[in-house]
A = this chain, B = another copy of it.
Amino acid sequence: MLNYGAVDRVFQALGDSTRRAIVERLSQGSMSVSDLAKPLDITLAAVVQHLQVLEESGLVRTEKVGRVRSCHIQPQGLRVAEDWISARRSLWERRFDRLGELLDGPESPTPSPRKKGSS
């Protein structure tokens, strides 16, 4: 079952390109907030704000060890978005398949063999 509040938060979080860049880098390995901020062309305060959104959406987890705050991907957050999309896509594909069957119609039951003696 999909939790719609969680779906909303994950897609709102992924809707921003800086936050996607953060997820992209963290998927290659956990790192500190300051290492994460280095290549990003924004202030450390802005990075912290983006991380807060990512944490609230369940995409990222941060933990403070001594003086360093370390950031990690939460794969279950990514799974929420993946499940929503694949459910929509397979719903559409099933409808499309049924439409195909209807268009084929009962006159051309291609996979079943011909009746005996029907020639």
Query: Which residues of chain B are near A78, meaning CB under 8 Å?
Result: 85-86, 88-89, 92
Query: Which residues of chain B are near A11, meaning CB under 8 Å?
Result: 11, 14-15, 17, 20
Chain B, residue nearest A7 (CB): B20
Dominant SS among interface residues on chain A: helix
The segment out of A22-30, A39-47, A108-116 that lies at the interface is A22-30
Query: Which residues of chain B are near A71, meaning CB under 8 Å?
Result: none
Give how many A residues have a beta carbon under 8 Å from the other chain's beta carbons. Answer: 30
- Tell whether, in the assembled complex, residue A8 and residue B17 are in contact, meaning their CB atoms are under 8 Å apart: yes
- Tell whether, in the assembled complex, residue A91 and residue B28 are in contact, meaning their CB atoms are under 8 Å apart: yes
Question: Shortest beta-carbon distance, A26 to chain B, in Å?
Answer: 8
Does any Cβ of B come within 8 Å of A54's Cβ?
no
Besides A15-B16, A78-B92, 16 other A-B contacts (C-beta < 8 A) = A11-B17, A12-B15, A14-B14, A14-B15, A14-B85, A27-B88, A27-B92, A27-B95, A29-B95, A73-B88, A73-B92, A78-B85, A78-B88, A79-B89, A81-B81, A82-B82
Can you list 12 contacts pairing A with B, beta carbon distance less than 8 Å?
A8-B17, A11-B11, A14-B14, A20-B84, A27-B91, A28-B95, A78-B85, A79-B89, A81-B81, A82-B82, A82-B85, A85-B85
